[in-house]
Amino acid sequence: MRPPPEHERGGPDPTATHFPDLCLRKENLRARMRATLADLPQSWLRAAGEAAAMRLEEIPEFRAARRLAVYLAVPQEMPTEALIERCRQENRALAVPAWDADRRTYRLAAFFPGMPLRRGPWGVPQPAALEWVETPEINLWVVPGLAFSEEGMRLGRGGGWYDRLLAGARAPRLGWALDVQVVPFVPAARHDIRIDRIVTEQRIVNCSCRKDERGLTMEPPTAADGGCRKTGT
């Protein structure tokens, strides 16, 4: 049986005004997940990505989507090559995150397999020629992360870029992850974006949002200054 989150075991009240150890708890989980992923060979990761791509037919939102926001994986991240190839075969349009140097932020850029790429900030690959795609054009988001909970909380790498990208998104959001990245509890603030489903090499998780008796979502709120200080991606 999956253990309950800390706040259900008598831990800190997640609906309190202050939650000073939120950033530390996030960093501890990031360190643990990075260590887990570092031990996985690339051949195993590729096989996991292929197995996850085979599950997509089970998802109605994928079957209906004509334009997807995906990502170009870096080492020790759930691969997207099989997902991208499937989209190419099925004539689905794609977009990926790319750095907008003028706006100093990430936006979505059109992507097709085989196009020239370059390294953006933090070594993340992106199209060499940028054709921007606006958020309302996306029918489905495929989102990376270091960890996910079955309630739909996502832990990124600490930069907050995906939270900003997803802030105005109306389309469904799929977490794309290894099964070892689905954990019992992800510490999160109220501004952190939830995922609708998680796709792994072993299963599809339909995420549900637990609420307390007051109707409040049960995750730790942000600190008084608006959240943790963000660095990196």
CA pair distance 68, 84, nearest whole angstrom: 10
Please check whether residue 205 is in contact with residue 232, taking contact to mean a CB–CB distance below 8 angstroms.
Answer: no
Span 56-79, pLDDT tens digits? 999 999 999 999 999 999 988 999
Half-sphere exposure of 169 (CA within 13 A, CB side): 25
Please check whether residue 126 is in contact with residue 99, taking contact to mean a CB–CB distance below 8 angstroms.
Answer: yes
- Cα–Cα distances (Å) from 6 to 3, 25, 220, 232, in that order, read 9, 12, 10, 28
Span 141-197, pLDDT tens digits? 999 999 999 999 999 888 788 888 988 889 999 999 999 999 999 998 877 889 999
CA pair distance 220, 167, nearest whole angstrom: 18
- Cα–Cα distances (Å) from 112 to 18, 72, 84, in that order, read 45, 11, 8
pLDDT mean across residues, the chain = 83
Count of residues in the chain: 233
Q: Which residues pair with 173 in a beta bridge?
A: 141
pTM over 0.85? The answer is no
CA pair distance 110, 69, nearest whole angstrom: 9
Span 9-45, pLDDT tens digits? 334 444 333 455 888 999 999 999 999 999 899 999 9
